[in-house]
Structure 1
Amino acid sequence: MTTITAHTHAQEQYTTTSARLAARLSIHNYNTAPLSWFQFAQTFIPKHGSILEVGAGTGALWQPDAFPSSQIQSITSLTLTDFSPAMCSTLSSDPSILSLQSQLPVTIQQCDATSLPFPSSTFDTVVANHMLYHVDDPLVALAEFKRVLKSGGKLVVALNGLDHLKELFEVGEMVGRGSTIKGLAKITAENAVEQITKVGFEEVGRERFPGEFRVPGVKPVLEYLDSVGEVDMEEGKREVVRRVVGERLDREGGWFRVEKNMVLFTARKP
């Protein structure tokens, strides 16, 4: 049996359910940038040859609004992996992924990011969208990404900075729902270039996703903070969130503004 090396928090959050990830992704509904995060990320993913996404989650990168069928033509295969059986089940039943499977070879496989079950030099592109901070040893994962890439192949990695969602987690810290990843992550937007180059990638580029999140009420904040834990918050803590966010909404004209620090890194295997 393959040993899964995602850290304990990630296993608790994602192994048996995709609901918590879906709840957190809903914050993107309040993005002020002209493109969604997934549309932005797709502009950096080459649309040719064989593509591997490691930690594909719920498959949000491959929904039609981010990845229209017109971009499929030169892609020879798409492989989506995740360490979580629940995520793989979600991917296997997702209507958009099923539609893609009728247009090009799409493989869904459960596996560990630090021990990919693919031969060396298999893929033209490897994508890791907001997943490396869930891995206990990101350098091992990056080395695996390099191993399975062909010479000249492209790496696309998305990571958050330490101040990502600062205002949201300031509220969370008041009720015991601070940023777990902030304390656990061994790779962030701040040190990513160093780690990507350390394993031998070249031509590292860095692009920050513009804009902020403007949340129009308390409910999305409650749902996000609920998703951070294993169970929903107690009513007393929910009341604290309602009060603090409500005061902010009153001060800022009906918006709870949340800063984002989402960065997309690209690199090339020599």
Structure 2
Amino acid sequence: MTATPSARAVSQYATTTGNLTARMALHAYGTNPQGWFAWLGERLPLAGDVLEVGAGTGELWRRVDRPATGLRLTLTDFSPAMCDRLREVPGARVQRCDATHLPYADAAFDTVIANHMLYHLDDPDAALVEFARVLRPGGRLAVAVNGRDHLAELDALGPVIDRFDLAVGSHQNDVTAETTPARIAAHFADVTVERYPDELAVPAVEPVLAYLASMVGPLTAAQESAARDMVQARIEADGAFRVRKHTVLISAVRGSR
């Protein structure tokens, strides 16, 4: 039976930060000189009471300069391992909780951030309802999601290693760049979408193998050999293993209702 998105997230993230760290490491090979976190940080309203839901390892707050005053930061995640890392972020309040049942009062925050996390939920619309509830009227929502073709060249390695479950979409819900703006518009106003321009150009095989292992577990010798041969051939032909990216930032405003 196919695991639910939340069950898959528990197996991947509840007890370790290693899988997420391996995946983020691959994005160091992005061709955009401005990395994702810097690009995102420029577009976030960083003032007042800010909540990031599903904050993972807190990497955003290690890469973005926070205002010296005027920002009260709250970080949440369902994972005990992630919360342990989040407690290393200076000045942040950290809470382990479910994104669909936030332990905060109505209208408690000026900004809510959901960076690459909605697709891990069994009921993403319930989370959007919660985001609207805890935002003040006029408060801002920032949601990052991926398109259906995101990392397609990595997904294509699944059949090569006989792991058809490698494809990200096989264990996530239908929250994508194509569908999410309309979902958000059901609860928020002034919805805008901006795509982050980037692709990966990976010059060596090892980072790709580390990504594969983070997704499906340790590779057998045969799986590693098959993946290595294909990736190395692409590197020799194209100068790098090139991977398409399709990530968007969706911004919206909490209405007065």
Question: Taking every aligned residue pair, what percent have the same amino acid on both sides?
Answer: 44
Q: Does 1:237 align with 2:223?
A: yes
Length, aligned pairs only: 250
Runs of 4 or more consecutive aligned structure 1 residues displaced over 3 Å after TM superposition: 180-183
CA shift digits 1:146-173 (9 cap, x unpaired): 0000000000000011111011111133
SS at match of 2:73: strand
What is the match of residue 68 of structure 2? 72
**Would the aligned equivalents of 1:121 and 1:148 in 2 still touch at CA under 8 Å?**
yes
Q: Once the 2 structures are TM-superposed, how far is the Cα of residue 182 of structure 1 from its aligned partner?
A: 4.4
Match of 2:9, as an amino acid?
Answer: A
What is the 5 A alignment of 1:194-233?
194-198=182-186, 200-229=187-216, 231-233=217-219
Q: Which residue of 120, 123, 127 corresponds with 1:134?
A: 120
What is the 5 A alignment of 1:67-216?
67-69=64-66, 71-75=67-71, 77-92=72-87, 94=88, 97=89, 100-101=90-91, 106-175=92-161, 176=163, 178-198=166-186, 200-216=187-203
**Would the aligned equivalents of 1:156 and 1:266 in 2 still touch at CA under 8 Å?**
yes
Match of 2:64, as an amino acid?
Answer: F
**Would the aligned equivalents of 1:136 and 1:186 in 2 still touch at CA under 8 Å?**
no
Distance 1:14 1:243, change over 3 A: same
Greater mean alpha carbon deviation, residues 124-133 or residues 37-46: 37-46
Match of 2:179, as an amino acid?
Answer: N
SS at match of 2:166: coil
SS at match of 1:213: strand
SS at match of 1:208: strand
- Distance of 1:130 and 1:89 partners within structure 2: 19
SS at match of 2:93: strand
- Distance of 1:154 and 1:193 partners within structure 2: 14
SS at match of 1:243: helix
Unaligned runs of 5+ in 1: none
CA shift digits 1:45-89 (9 cap, x unpaired): 1021000000000001101xx3124x33331x1000000011001
- Distance of 1:165 and 1:178 partners within structure 2: 11
TM-score of the superposed pair, with normalisation by structure 2: 0.94
Q: Once the 2 structures are TM-superposed, how far is the Cα of residue 28 of structure 1 from its aligned partner?
A: 1.4
Superposed CA RMSD in Å reads: 1.3
TM-score of the superposed pair, with normalisation by structure 1: 0.89
Q: Once the 2 structures are TM-superposed, how far is the Cα of residue 186 of structure 1 from its aligned partner?
A: 2.4
- Distance of 1:144 and 1:191 partners within structure 2: 19
Unaligned runs of 5+ in 2: none
CA shift digits 1:116-158 (9 cap, x unpaired): 0000100000000000000001000001000000000000000
